[in-house]
Amino acid sequence: MPTTLKDLGTAKKSTWCPGCGNFGILTAIKSALVDSGLDREQAVLVSGIGCHGKMIDYLNINGFHSIHGRVLPVATGITLANPDLKVIGFSGDGDCYDEGWDHFAHAIRRNINMTLIVHNNMVFGLTTGQTTSTSQPGFKSKSTPYGSITPPINPIAHALVSNATFVARGFVGETRHLQNLMVQAIKHRGFSYIDVFQVCVSFNYINTYDWYRQRVYKLEETGYDYTDRNKALEKSFEWGDHIPIGIFYKEERPTYYDNIPQMKGVNLAKSPTEIRDISSILEEME
Ligand SMILES: Cc1ncc(C[n+]2csc(CCOP(=O)(O)OP(=O)(O)O)c2C)c(N)n1
Ligand code: SF4
Ligand SMILES: [Mg+2]
């Protein structure tokens, strides 16, 4: 049965701060799930640890609240074991671009069939606002009281050079636009990735709603062609007074699962499990 907005609500009381950008992501994903016509039972959510991780509590869909930085290994396991499921991962900038950084490149280059949404608030929110690898130069926090001295990571550029098949950026102040990006990401076969500018009203006083509103513009309104990886890379470095949001790059390519001939038509989760006696093999190896 197609999912409705009502189906997706839960009775859990939100613990996000009033005005938090996570509310925008929640609103957008709910509408995107309805728009994409996905049955609730066809989807599985995976989240990391942080304020973003509470998405699992507020969406009435089977979910796995994993450990810090490990959204991608868990999501990879689920999608390979049961390719009939649509796996959607919610990660934080700290979760994905710091603690789980190595998984990012590898899930992308393998073209794991899943969607990854990164709540990029440029701080470790849940642990009270320390600097992350996307915090802007000079950003002052408890961990960098004199201001961040290292240049931030450019996750869009990294995704592109890792051979990503779907790379986009959204902003929580543009929920309709974000919802549309999410629908396209969900429909994409392969690894679809959206970095979302998610405002943290409690700990990031630089990258506020107004800061973004004065800078973001939509790529699709400029006649931009998202099929050219080199152009996308060039765009990914645009920062400052004008910051692009929208789809940077998109292509179709076989997924990791598609490239394993032994997996063709196999659904491990639905395969019969039997206990096999392997003692003779073990004895041979002694
Ligand atoms: C392995 C491990 N390291 C560190 C922590 C502590 N920790 C919990 S939440 C968090 C910050 C999360 O930041 P981010 O991923 O950006 O999520 P946000 O809270 O900003 O949504 C950290 C460092 C942890 N729980 N587990
Ligand atoms: S600390 Fe920041 S990210 Fe976390 S709930 Fe509050 S506003 Fe949102
Ligand atoms: Mg964060």
Say if residues 168 and 247 touch (Cβ distance below 8 Å): yes
Residue nearest to atom 8 of ligand 2 (CA): 20
- Express as a percent the part of the chain with pLDDT over 90: 95
Q: Is 224 exposed, middle or buried (0-12, 13-18, 19+ CB in 10 A)?
A: middle
Residue 156 DSSP class:
H
Q: What CATH fold (topology level) applies to the domain 5-285? A: Rossmann fold (3.40.50)
Q: Can you point out the beta strands (E) in 55-150?
A: 63-65, 86-92, 114-120, 123-124, 130-131
- In this predicted structure, what is the pLDDT of residue 245? 98
Task: Tell me the best of 55, 91, 118, 126 to mutate to test the pocket of ligand 2, counting ligand atoms within 8 Å of each CB and taking the most.
Answer: 126
Average pLDDT of the residues in 159-164: 98
Task: Tell me the best of 47, 70, 95 to mutate to test the pocket of ligand 1, counting ligand atoms within 8 Å of each CB and taking the most.
Answer: 95
* Exposed e or buried b per residue across 230-242, where buried means at least 16 C-beta atoms within 10 angstroms of its C-beta: eebbebbeeeeee
pLDDT-based confidence at residue 273 (cuts at 50, 70, 90): confident
- In this predicted structure, what is the pLDDT of residue 286? 86
- In this predicted structure, what is the pLDDT of residue 275? 82
- In this predicted structure, what is the pLDDT of residue 261? 94
- DSSP result, 22-44: HHHHHHHHHHHHHHTT-BGGGEE
Q: Using one digit for the tens of pLDDT, what is the confidence trace for 42-54?
A: 999 999 999 999 9
Dihedral of alpha carbons 95, 155, 104, 91, sign: positive
pLDDT-based confidence at residue 274 (cuts at 50, 70, 90): confident
Integer angstrom CA distances of residue 10 from 25, 54, 59, 114, 191: 16, 12, 6, 24, 28
CA 219 to chain CA centroid, nearest Å:
20
- In this predicted structure, what is the pLDDT of residue 253? 97
Residue nearest to atom 6 of ligand 2 (CA): 17
Statement: residue 1 has pLDDT above 80 = no
pLDDT-based confidence at residue 218 (cuts at 50, 70, 90): very high
Would you kindly state where each structural domain of the chain is located, as residue ranges?
5-285
Say if residues 156 and 231 touch (Cβ distance below 8 Å): no
- In this predicted structure, what is the pLDDT of residue 98? 98
For the beta carbon of residue 67, count every other beta carbon within 10 angstroms. Answer: 14
**How remote is the CA of residue 260 from the centroid of ligand 3, in Å?**
35
- In this predicted structure, what is the pLDDT of residue 3? 87
Statement: residue 88 has pLDDT above 80 = yes
